[in-house]
Amino acid sequence: MDYIKGFGKELFVIISEMAPYLMLGFFFAGLLHLLFPKKKVRKYMGQNNFRSIFNAALLGIPLPLCSCGVMSNKYLFL
């Protein structure tokens, strides 16, 4: 029973630490959804050709780098 209580407690701590960053991410995702017209996004990434794949890959390259950088900085300054 102590294991379940400890698990629940740690889960709550992790979720409460993640919540502000998730909300910030949702906020920016909403802004991008409002500010970027869907026609432009479809024009550059919605086709079935090499250029669309290349554009999507270029936009996706920094995402893992950013998340890894955030995680390493978080644990670096503890």
Q: What are 29-56's pLDDT values in tens digits? A: 888 889 888 888 788 777 888 888 888 8
The answer to whether the CB of 56 falls within 8 A of the CB of 46 is: no
User: What is the torsion angle, in degrees rounded to the nearest 10, for the CA atoms of residue 61, residue 45, residue 43 and residue 34?
Assistant: -70
The answer to whether the CB of 58 falls within 8 A of the CB of 52 is: no
Give the number of other CB atoms < 10 A from CB of residue 59.
Answer: 11
Q: What does the domain layout of the chain look like in residue ranges?
A: 1-35, 37-78
Model confidence at 77, in pLDDT bands (50, 70, 90)? very low
Residues contacting 73, CB < 8 A, separation 6+: none
Chain mean pLDDT for the chain: 79
